[in-house]
Structure 1
Amino acid sequence: MAHIIVVGNEKGGAGKSTVSMHVATALARMGHRVGTLDLDLRQKTLARYITNRQTFLHNKRLDLPSPRYQDLPEVEQSSLKPGDNALDQRLSMAVSDMEADNDFILIDCPGSHTRLSQVAHSLADTLITPLNDSFVDFDLLAHVNSDGDEITGPSVYSEMVWNARQLRAQAGLKPIDWIVVRNRLGAQNMVNKQKMQKVIDKLAKRIGFRAAPGFNERVIFRELFPRGLTLLDLRDIGVKGMNISNVAARQELRELIKSLDLPGVSADF
């Protein structure tokens, strides 16, 4: 069965789709079969990212390893039994269709609390939660005191993940491997950055996730989206001289893939 990776965070702007695209493309470039779903039915940023990639590669006559994208199938209301939820059925059908043909299924969740996102979290073998390096974003995981150095209690997203873990346990499935990724980091080692590291380490022990490094804030991520490209594609499109920032970003991606510890995956790319 395919290993299901869910990228989730109920707050927008944390870089979920950028992380999703880079993880999915890295796995594809390593020879793994990767299918993707975008559960943000309104914005569909990941879906658009992959469409941009297909268009760019077609126009440039390039053949680069790429994740495959699938829309959620429609269901006939008449086919639903009493009590069935149409969204649940659409997600279940999509995952069932993709499992046989993929090693990994990556699901990108919206930056809000939705029924689809809840169900997807309960399907996750690996859960990646990108988190901006800010106490505003951290508040989604846990509440802290006014000094920002002590945790006073879990917050809404952590409780949702806990519920997803309970559902998996009841179904006899293995526990979710939850990785919180500190994303869009600033270059300077400020006091806020140090405090964030401290409380994340505390919370990781308290509610059971692993912390991993993500991407620093870089302009290149915004530049790659219109062409559907990732950091791993630059040499293939003729970029000969990689600048220091691009080399550092590739290393960040390599460290992220290594930290995920996915089955049968190394960080050799």
Structure 2
Amino acid sequence: MAQPLVIVIGNEKGGAGKSTLAIHIATGLLHAGKKVAILDLDLRQRSMERFFANRAVWVAANNQDLPMPLVPDMGDGKALARATPEEQLARFEAAYAVAQTVSEVILIDTPGGDTTLSRAAHARADQIVTPMNDSFVDFDLLGQVDPVTLELQKPSIYSESVWEARKERAIKEGRHATIDWLVVTNRLQGTHARNRDRLEERMGKLAKRVGFRVGPGLRERVIYRELFPFGLTVADLSNEVRPVSVTMSHVSARQELRGLMADMGLQDALSPLTAAA
């Protein structure tokens, strides 16, 4: 069996929308027929695991048949959060080994911080997807700017973490081993602003300097939140699966997800997303 594609959703800042991206990417891949294993390393919150637990309950209650990911057991999250870094790493390694044997894609959601587990996940990534809000507050973790001129000064702490992950992987697998890094601007508001122009200019400069691509994320839409309790995303909506009234916002959201998957290079996941909800 070929080695699975490893996708890491990463950003050391909380509230950037990592879990939202993770569950949408996962469901998009599942509907494309991929065998997906998920690992949720946000040990206390575990939003991605809870989403799929909600999904299992909703599917059973409504006699529906929706694809589910494989969830290798890492044990109780709260207890594991109190464990030593060595114990946490051992649990991760065991779960990751299981995921390797049963999946085509391993999707890893990481916490908002620099942890032992997050570093281990980044070093195994084939692709890192980093969501960031349309704000210099979020950009500060990628690059530092001059407080007077706003000119880019140097890469910041998360860019350094990705560089370390790339270096570690190159040491283990050879200099040709690469990690594709995609940064997506998330939760965009509908109106354009001068701040966004400034931010996009600095993003472009930093992308060339540290080696990431810039792509579209998901706009600020109620639909991305209102389907969470059901364990559903816009990729799931159909004539049979419709727990809320479908509007043009749902259609637009589906197109946003399609754009994200295309930028990730997941071409075989696009076809199911073209069907109208």
TM-score (norm 1): 0.91
What is the DSSP-based 3-state SS (H/G/I as helix, E as strand, rest coil) of the residue aligned with 2:42?
A: coil
Aligned residue in 2 for 1:256 = 260
Matched, 1:29 2:39: no
Deviates more, 1:21-30 or 1:145-154: 145-154
Write the distance in 1 (CA, Å) between the matches of 2:94 and 2:53.
22
How many Å apart are 1:197 and its aligned residue? 1.4
Matched, 1:221 2:209: no
Write the distance in 2 (CA, Å) between the matches of 1:240 and 1:21.
18
Within 5 Å, give how 1:107-122 maps onto structure 2: 107-122=108-123
Aligned residue in 2 for 1:179 = 182
Aligned residue in 2 for 1:167 = 168
User: Any conservation in 2 of the 1:29–1:66 contact (CA below 8 Å)?
Assistant: no
Write the distance in 2 (CA, Å) between the matches of 1:46 and 1:238.
21
How many Å apart are 1:232 and its aligned residue? 1.2
> How many corresponding residue pairs?
259
What is the DSSP-based 3-state SS (H/G/I as helix, E as strand, rest coil) of the residue aligned with 1:232?
A: coil
Write the distance in 1 (CA, Å) between the matches of 2:166 and 2:29.
25
Aligned residue in 2 for 1:61 = 63
Aligned residue in 2 for 1:39 = 41
How many Å apart are 1:145 and its aligned residue? 1.9
Aligned residue in 1 for 2:9 = 7
TM-score (norm 2): 0.89
User: Any conservation in 1 of the 2:131–2:184 contact (CA below 8 Å)?
Assistant: yes
Aligned residue in 2 for 1:234 = 237
Write the distance in 2 (CA, Å) between the matches of 1:243 and 1:147.
45
Write the distance in 2 (CA, Å) between the matches of 1:68 and 1:60.
21
Quick one: structure 1 residues 221 and 147, their matched pair in 2 at CA, closer, same or farther if it must change by over 3 Å?
farther
Write the distance in 2 (CA, Å) between the matches of 1:16 and 1:206.
24
1:99-133 C-alpha deviation (Å, 9 max, x unpaired): 12110000000111111001110010010101111
Aligned residue in 2 for 1:156 = 157
Deviates more, 1:115-124 or 1:144-153: 144-153
1:115-158 C-alpha deviation (Å, 9 max, x unpaired): 10011100100101011111001001011123574211111111
Write the distance in 2 (CA, Å) between the matches of 1:65 and 1:24.
10
Write the distance in 1 (CA, Å) between the matches of 2:196 and 2:171.
38
Write the distance in 1 (CA, Å) between the matches of 2:131 and 2:66.
26
What is the DSSP-based 3-state SS (H/G/I as helix, E as strand, rest coil) of the residue aligned with 2:14?
A: coil
What are the ranges of 5 or more consecutive residues in structure 2 without an aligned counterpart? Answer: 77-84, 273-277
Quick one: structure 1 residues 243 and 91, their matched pair in 2 at CA, closer, same or farther if it must change by over 3 Å?
same
Matched, 1:196 2:233: no
User: Any conservation in 1 of the 2:28–2:269 contact (CA below 8 Å)?
Assistant: no
Residue type at the aligned position of 1:246:
H
User: Any conservation in 2 of the 1:214–1:256 contact (CA below 8 Å)?
Assistant: yes
Write the distance in 2 (CA, Å) between the matches of 1:102 and 1:250.
25
Write the distance in 1 (CA, Å) between the matches of 2:144 and 2:255.
32
User: Any conservation in 2 of the 1:148–1:195 contact (CA below 8 Å)?
Assistant: no
1:73-101 C-alpha deviation (Å, 9 max, x unpaired): 59xxxxxxxxx922222211111111121
Write the distance in 2 (CA, Å) between the matches of 1:194 and 1:249.
23
Aligned residue in 1 for 2:95 = 94
Aligned residue in 1 for 2:105 = 104
Quick one: structure 1 residues 148 and 59, their matched pair in 2 at CA, closer, same or farther if it must change by over 3 Å?
farther
Residue type at the aligned position of 1:207:
V
Residue type at the aligned position of 1:31:
G
How many Å apart are 1:241 and its aligned residue? 6.7
How many Å apart are 1:68 and its aligned residue? 2.5
